[in-house]
Amino acid sequence: MRDRLILLPGWGLGVSPLEPLAAALRGLDERLHVEIEPLPELESSDPEEWLEELDSTLPQDAWLGGWSLGGMLACELAARRGDRCCGLFTLASNASFVAHEHWSSAMAGETFDAFLAGCGTDPRATLKRFSLLCAQGAEDPRGLSRLLLGGAPNTTAPVLLSGLQVLAQLDTRQALQSFRGPQLHLFAGLDGLVPVQAAGELLALLPDVEIGLIEQASHAFLLEDPHGVAGAIQAFLHESGDD
């Protein structure tokens, strides 16, 4: 169904950060059915198991979009579905969250390892630190961090840990190159988790897809300006023939 759009959230903070964006999208087009789907609650750190669960749960022939980890999973799912996915968009999603020799514009491996270790010993403190990094660069970072943390579900420690391990393993470059449908990837200029240089690196990898940069914005820019982000997504849907 070309009038159905699925949104996948990021790690640890649940569906709440996506709710203002979903409401804004519905307000722009009452024919568009927007659904926010929570990420799998699996203790497995195998990305294939996460993708299998999403593929079996989410409706076919829909637009797929997501924030951060949700966007990376949407990329892999879009490539898996091919023509059964109308199109793809991501918000503050890197091709690889952790830097490696083929993708330098990402979090340093040592930084991520420390984050992973912190999640194993004190998941709540790690989630708080994560919310602060999400809000870094926002006009009111502490207020935004409190908003993010306040809406976070009580996810078990093993599920949080497995989600981080999945995040570290994903590398969506091949999926993005193989998916032939329309793509939009939005980045933030002041993102504390995804370096702004990732936008340029992705453009070099995918010169024919739409890549946008919101300069004065944090990783959680979808909460800073849900109506602006909804407008960009709606224009993308329109340009891609969804009218």
Give pLDDT, residue 242.
47
For each of the chain's 243 residues, which pLDDT tens digit applies?
Answer: 479 999 999 999 999 999 999 999 999 999 999 999 999 999 999 999 999 999 999 999 999 999 999 999 999 999 999 999 999 999 999 999 999 999 999 999 999 999 999 999 999 999 999 999 999 999 999 999 999 999 999 999 999 999 999 999 999 999 999 999 999 999 999 999 999 999 999 999 999 999 999 999 999 999 999 999 999 999 999 998 644
Residue ranges per structural domain of the chain: 4-239
- SS3 sequence of the chain: CCCEEEEECCCCCCCHHHHHHHHHHHHHCCCCEEEECCCCCCCCCCHHHHHHHHHHHCCCCEEEEEECHHHHHHHHHHHHHHHHEEEEEEECCCCCCECECCECCCECHHHHHHHHHHHHHCHHHHHHHHHHHHHCCCCCHHHHHHHHHHCCCCCCHHHHHHHHHHHHHCCCHHHHHHCCCCEEEEEECCCCCCCCHHHHHHHHHCCCCEEEEECCCCCCHHHHCHHHHHHHHHHHHHHCCCC
Query: Which of 96, 131, 162, 219 is an active site residue?
Result: 219
The pLDDT value recorded for residue 240 is 86
Q: pLDDT value at position 1?
A: 47
Predicted pLDDT of residue 2: 78
- The CATH T-level fold of domain 4-239 is Rossmann fold (3.40.50)
Instruction: Please tell me which residue in 68, 162, 218, 240 is annotated as part of the active site.
Output: 68
**Residue 191 annotated to the active site:** yes
Is 113 an annotated catalytic residue? Answer: no
Q: Is 219 labeled as catalytic in the residue annotation?
A: yes
Instruction: Out of 96, 131, 162, 191, pick the active-site residue.
Output: 191
